[in-house]
Structure 1
Amino acid sequence: MGPDEEAGDRHRMVSEAAKRVRSSPLSAWSLACVAFGLALGLRFGFDHILPAGFPYLTFFPAVILTAFFAGPRPGLVCAIACGLSAWFWFIPPFGSFTLGTPVLIALAFYVFVVGVDIALIEAMHGAVRRLEAERAINQQLLAQQKLHLEESQAQQRQQRVLQRELSHRMKNTLAMVQAVVSQSLRNATDPKEAATMASARIQALARAQDMLTATDWAASDVKAIVEASIAPHVDDPARLRLAGPRVDLDARHALGLALAIHELATNATKYGALSADGGHIAVSWDVGEGERFSFEWREEGGPSVSEPNRRGFGSRLTERVVPGYFQGHAQTEFAPRGLVYQLDGSLAADRHDHS
């Protein structure tokens, strides 16, 4: 620690001590009495060795210390007591309050010195208070600036995630349009019927996208979320098997589950059970003790499944992002009979946070 830092620490310690004494009337007036008594005792004790003409020699420090640590009122009272004591005992003629030209000059000198001292001390304390107030304002501004910077960085991160998600959703949408058209052409008997079927499925896909991005669900049932999210991908309702109790999800949980279902249904249409005529999907869910939520997506009757060599953003979405909405975890099993996705989490956290 350098000399400047040590001096700063000493100044802060002295200022804090003065604040504590000034904040307590008992301490302030006790200090004034002790300082006066000590100054008077020292003046009597060293009267025989002090040169003539210095009646206030021990009283000035007492007034200065009292005014600094105890405040202007105790300092002023101490100054009056010290001045009267010096006048009575140490200014000739001794033992009286006689007025004369020398006495008036001595008293005027004393009043001027202690008045200037008390005024300077109060001006210094005022400057310190203003400095501390400005420092507090600067710290508050710095904290606000830091908060704004963190919010700006968070918004930038969120914007990057949204941009990636938008790009991913656009690619998936185009792939889904292609899959819908191909499936419609394969199952239709004539071009007109194929065009009608493809148009209907593309419109359903658009409605599902609108639901994911624009609908604010206050309380959505899991069954309704599954049906609405998977509707654009299923050409026959019999290919979807649902099992589970009525469970209402808030907007955050509903959005997370819809994102996962949309991703799973997209992959199932392109590579899994929904890409084959005999394939179907079994979806089940449940709520256990402590509002623990479990969800399972199981594909059967589709092409043989093998784990891909490369895991893309869709896998990270279903296995990392969506489980975060539920403060839980998820796993994807690439079983030969069909893909199995399991999500386990909690419905309690967000409800308690928003209650």
Structure 2
Amino acid sequence: MDRLPYGSGRGLVGLLGAVTLSLAAAGLRLALDDLFPPGFPYLTFFPAVILSSFLFGARAGAIAGLLCGLLAWYYFIPPYRSFVVQGGTWIALFFYFAVVALDVLLILWLQRANRRLRDERERNEALAARSELLFRELQHRVANNLQMVGAVLHHHERDVGDPLARAALSEAALKLELIGRIQRQLYGSDGSPVALDSFLAQLVDDVMAAGGKPGLRHMLRVAPGIVLAPDVAIPLALILAEGIANAVEHGFTGRTSGCIAVTVTREAGAIALVIADDGEGLPPDFALDAASSLGLRVSRTLARQIGGTLSLCDRPGGTALRLVIPDRAAQGLS
């Protein structure tokens, strides 16, 4: 359909097509002449005109209309095999050419509309391709800039003498570099947000590898099809990374083996992230609200920003960090 009319801009193709269809219509009309009652001279010629216009353009349709009209007049309007005007011949010819002109004009209008739609679709495809390219480039630059800032903070960290300030700079640098890595994985090639199960696996692998304890195992189970708004996915990923880092650092003190299980599930009207380990457990007097760890304080703040609730508690044989986000907040709704 997009290539119609055929031979556009080449008059010979349309002329040959119109003549061929007109002669074929005349031959068919002659073959069926004995089956038709008197008074149907144009029956097989209208389709020839319509096909000529549709396949080869309005010019070919006009040629076919003229040629078919002459053939019908000569062979099938009395007195036969002549162009003598008799009785209502003029009226029949007038209505024939009026109908042919209307058919050709309608098909011409449809073809022009189709051509405009095709051109618009091609422009839209070109714009979409350009937008996708610009979006990927923007994502790449944002991630690079974040990681560059993190590298700069790491560089200045060596010049800071105060241990607390140095630890804060190190923590900020690690967070920025992590956000940069997350930013690269948040969107697919078409710019749509990626489901959690598609990008959390690499994130968990990276955080576990950074923990420096190769003897620790990890398991990841994410309910398929969960898609979060980017301003929710990044805080969730940061809380996940912090939870794993805390489990590696504090849950397995003096141990080189163990397991960390990460699950993301759908609950009634909410999405739950749980990071469970089989480590040493929490100190008896531990309280999350009073925790002095910078990472945990940042995690609590991030959880509040996305409308979620964060808890950290003992479990049989270890510790579990649990983040619950209402569905409306997870989808970026107010």
TM-score tier after normalising by the smaller chain length: 0.3 to 0.5
Q: TM-score, normalised by structure 1?
A: 0.43
Q: TM-score, normalised by structure 2?
A: 0.45
Q: Greater relative contact order: 1 or 2 (C-alpha under 8 angstroms, separation 6 or more)?
A: 2
Name the larger-Rg structure.
Answer: 1
